[in-house]
Amino acid sequence: MDRPERVRHFTKVSDLSVEEIRKILKRAFKLKERPHADRSLTGRTVALIFSKPSTRTRVSFSVCVYQLGGMALYLSEQELQMRSSESLEDTARVLSRFVDAIVIRTFAQSDVDELAAHATVPVINALTDERHPCQALSDIFTFEERFPDSKGRTITYMGDGNNVAVSLAAAGALSGIDVCLGIPEEYDLAPALWEEIQGLAAAHGTRVWVERDPERAVETASAVYTDVWTSMGQERDQGKLQALQPYQVNRGLMSVAPWEAIVMHCLPAHRGEEITDEIMDGPQSVVFDQAENRVHVQKALLTFLLGGD
């Protein structure tokens, strides 16, 4: 595989065009059918830098790189010189001399952006406080797996306006899927991110809107999506848990949603908080398909970013 002329990063969903997302998801469908068919990362190395815990993202990226013939290097931030005695810029420049791509999970989105600004290999955002684009790309795949006629359908996200909500809304906007955000007022998306999402939706003829009433939010949903109410790095706040209680994905709420609606969760789940056991383990749930699909989609993403096509 030749290195592309222009380095492509994936720091946020909209780093990809609509056509590129289509190409990656199509490739992911093929890779899901034949997981060992592509060995285009043979002899190549991918650094995985994690400053927060991870099960799915860390393991799926390790598996992705291995199945593609390459080697993943897991680096916890504590074991790097990064930030403690070396700048992000120098870290980016040094790692670019060793590895073929850098996957990073950290707190500030600006750190990922800075790394990308100085790296000469692709930088992939594996979650920040602001965004979770790999999850969102993969979630569109899972949604389309269930609903090949996805255009014009609605995914309703129930919870706080967190990283997962932001990237899901962006990915929906770029994929012809409407996104309803069932969010209480106090936990709306940050204004700048809301503006960005509205801009994407307007540019692509899709709708992203907020519905405060939980039942109205799910009435027309083809998927009801939720995430933990307390994200990594946040203080657990009793007031927030109470405000979000009416947005719990449970049997009562799902009885209002269309019969064919699926239930999505990026995981890890706090069972009994944002989702009940019977719904998470019930027939509408696709949450473990979502987890598996991280592998297929990230393989397609890696081959796209590293191969340049």
**Closer by beta carbon to ligand NVA, 220 or else 230:** 230
The verdict on whether omega for the bond into residue 246 sits within 30 degrees of 0, i.e. cis, is no
14 neighbors 309 (Cβ within 8 angstroms): no
By a kind-dependent CB cut-off of 5 to 8 A, residue 131 interacts, out of ligand NVA, ligand CP, none, with: none
For residue 198, give the amino acid letter.
Answer: Q
What are the structure tokens assigned to 9, written together? 């990063």
Measured CA to CA in angstroms, residue 29 lies from 22, 148, 197, 235, 302 at distances of 11, 12, 27, 38, 14
Is 118 part of the annotated catalytic residue set?
no
Catalytic residue among 27, 44, 265, 294: 294
Question: Closest approach of Cβ 236 to ligand CP, in Å?
Answer: 17
Question: Closest approach of Cβ 135 to ligand CP, in Å?
Answer: 5
91 binds ligand CP (CB under 6 A): no
Phi, psi angles (nearest 5°) of residue 35? -60, -25
Give the binding-site size for ligand CP (rule: CB under 6 A): 10
Q: Which residues pair with 225 in a beta bridge?
A: 157, 264
By a kind-dependent CB cut-off of 5 to 8 A, residue 298 interacts, out of ligand CP, ligand NVA, none, with: none
What are the structure tokens assigned to 298, written together? 């990230």
Is 78 part of the annotated catalytic residue set?
no
By a kind-dependent CB cut-off of 5 to 8 A, residue 156 interacts, out of ligand CP, ligand NVA, none, with: none
**Closer by beta carbon to ligand CP, 133 or else 201:** 133
Give me the residues that bind ligand NVA (CB under 6 A), please: 127, 162-164, 227-228, 231-232, 266
Is 135 part of the annotated catalytic residue set?
yes
Question: Closest approach of Cβ 191 to ligand NVA, in Å?
Answer: 19
Phi, psi angles (nearest 5°) of residue 142? -65, -40
For residue 208, give the amino acid letter.
Answer: V
Catalytic residue among 9, 56, 58, 132: 132
Is 100 part of the annotated catalytic residue set?
no
By a kind-dependent CB cut-off of 5 to 8 A, residue 55 interacts, out of ligand NVA, ligand CP, none, with: ligand CP
The dihedral over CA atoms of 278, 284, 289, 290, expressed in degrees to the nearest 10, equals -90
Spatial neighbors of 237 by CB under 8 A, at least 6 apart, are 230
Three-state secondary structure call for residue 71: strand
266 binds ligand CP (CB under 6 A): yes
Question: Cα(47)–Cα(75) distance, rounded to whole angstroms?
Answer: 7
135 binds ligand CP (CB under 6 A): yes
Question: Cα(41)–Cα(56) distance, rounded to whole angstroms?
Answer: 21
Selected from 56, 153, 296, 299, the binder of ligand CP by CB under 6 A is 56
206 binds ligand CP (CB under 6 A): no
57 binds ligand CP (CB under 6 A): yes
Binding-site ranges for ligand CP (CB under 6 A): 54-58, 127, 135, 266-268
Active site residues: 105, 132, 135, 227, 266, 294
